[in-house]
Structure 1
């Protein structure tokens, strides 16, 4: 029986969405595999945003693209 994503366990569709968002943002930010710390920070931020209620792929991409431009 699957647990709720709010308990820290994600459905397969959620994981696929999170992976696509992560991959796209890594590509946009040119984060290579060797940029481990930055990639881990990004993954944490994406999951945190997803858990706070932003569950649409386009909305997640837009939120992080906007944040990155401000930085």
Structure 2
């Protein structure tokens, strides 16, 4: 489901995508990472960040990951 949603953004020229997922929800992560190469082949401008976190994830950790996305 997530890869289809990510690819639908290309129709609107959105190439920077952050996927926020609760930690431990491995099914979405495995599927998304498994088809990431194919998604990049279809949209070479695609910039993906999979951010897994839980309630105890520090704000600094989340902001650090987001910083790498935009730089």
Q: Settle same-fold status: TM greater than 0.5.
A: no
Interval containing the TM-score (normalised by the shorter chain): 0.3 to 0.5
More helix by share: 1
Q: Which has the higher strand share?
A: 2
- TM-score, normalised to structure 1, is 0.34
